[in-house]
Amino acid sequence: MKPVPHEDDEESSYSGESMLPGDVGRFSDALARATAEESEVAVPAALCQACVDLLDITGASISLQGEGDARVLWWSSSEVAGQLAEAQYTLGDAPCQSAVDLVAPVLAADLTQGPDARRWPFFAQQAVALGVRAVFSLPLSAGGLALGTLDLYREEAGELSERDRAFAFPMAEAITTALLNLPGGPATSDPDEDMWLAMAESDHEEVHQATGMIMVHLGVDPQQALARLRAHAFSHDLTVTEAARSVIEGKVRFHD
């Protein structure tokens, strides 16, 4: 069932946003520098870094949606950004997953209190522990489907300003275009092939391997196996990747 939109979830149209004088030039320059990268694979990361440079945020990351609930981290601006992406993947209930499900921006302006903290209580607790108080997840969408998310975070609570939205939303569209045009990407490859996902900077091959082992042990489908792995990770204060390694190494076995 498709989730019911939260009152703070944005519509997919951003026509109401406008850049301040001089910002159009800075935005164009950022796009030009990013697209001038020698490797097409480096373009999405360069665009994401431009968000960090131009916006009032602390860091950013790009995560791609794989089969089922699987996600892979393409790029992160810092260790905290990577840990935040891992926390969202481990819990499976966080702003980025809501943005994928709704195919709409999900802007959590204050994870310390109020509706955002209540909507994702476990994620909010982990985010605040990492020093993060606001997370803004923008879907990387094409054809009505979300390929992943551009996740922006800030150490201080507060809404994205109109100026920052005017930069961030078009930047998410530019990142989507860059991903679609990658060699082996969705626009150029067989839909059954995940070559573009394999290019991501991710440890989640271990998660896939562990999920497969749990499927065999329990006779369940991939979604149920991943849910069991996530539950084990949460109950033992591990990331899902750390839990997967324990399964692969034979330290943990799942039984009915």
CATH number where 211 lies:
1.10.10
Per-residue model confidence (pLDDT) at position 12: 39
Per-residue model confidence (pLDDT) at position 201: 44
Angle between helices 79-91 and 222-235 (to 10 degrees): 120
How does pLDDT run across 112-164, given as a tens digit for each residue?
A: 999 999 999 999 999 999 999 999 999 999 888 898 999 999 999 999 999 89
DSSP character for 34?
H
Per-residue model confidence (pLDDT) at position 14: 41
Report whether pLDDT(101) > 80.
Answer: yes
Report whether pLDDT(3) > 80.
Answer: no
- Domain assignment of residue 234, given as a range: 205-248
- 145 shares a domain with 210: no
> 């749990």: which residue's tokens?
214
Give the integer Cα–Cα distance in Å for 205 and 212: 11
- Which of 55-64, 226-235, 242-251 has the lowest average pLDDT? 226-235
Give the integer Cα–Cα distance in Å for 34 and 183: 17
198-204 mean pLDDT: 53
Per-residue model confidence (pLDDT) at position 16: 38
Per-residue model confidence (pLDDT) at position 20: 64
Per-residue model confidence (pLDDT) at position 107: 96
- 114 shares a domain with 239: no
Report whether pLDDT(28) > 70.
Answer: yes
- 167 shares a domain with 213: no
- 145 shares a domain with 29: yes
Angle between helices 95-102 and 79-91 (to 10 degrees): 60
Give the integer Cα–Cα distance in Å for 40 and 22: 28
Q: Of 183, 175, 138, 141, which is closest to residue 40 (Cα–Cα)?
A: 183
Report whether pLDDT(52) > 70.
Answer: yes
Give the integer Cα–Cα distance in Å for 256 and 233: 17
Under 8 Å CB-to-CB from 94, ≥6 apart: which residues? 87, 88, 120, 123, 135
- 177 shares a domain with 209: no
Q: Identify whether the C-beta of residue 132 lies closer than 8 Å to the C-beta of residue 84.
A: yes
- 136 shares a domain with 64: yes
2 occurs within a structural domain: no
How does pLDDT run across 54-90, given as a tens digit for each residue?
A: 999 999 999 888 665 667 788 889 989 988 988 888 8
Neighbouring C-alpha atoms within 13 Å toward the C-beta of 101:
16
Per-residue model confidence (pLDDT) at position 18: 66
Angle between helices 240-248 and 222-235 (to 10 degrees): 110
Average pLDDT over the chain, rounded to an integer:
81
Instruction: Quickly state the pLDDT bin for 6 (edges 50, 70, 90).
Output: low
Per-residue model confidence (pLDDT) at position 17: 52
Domain containing 109 — which CATH number? Answer: 3.30.450.40
Q: Identify whether the C-beta of residue 48 lies closer than 8 Å to the C-beta of residue 31.
A: no
- 215 shares a domain with 98: no
- 131 shares a domain with 48: yes
> 């939109």: which residue's tokens?
5
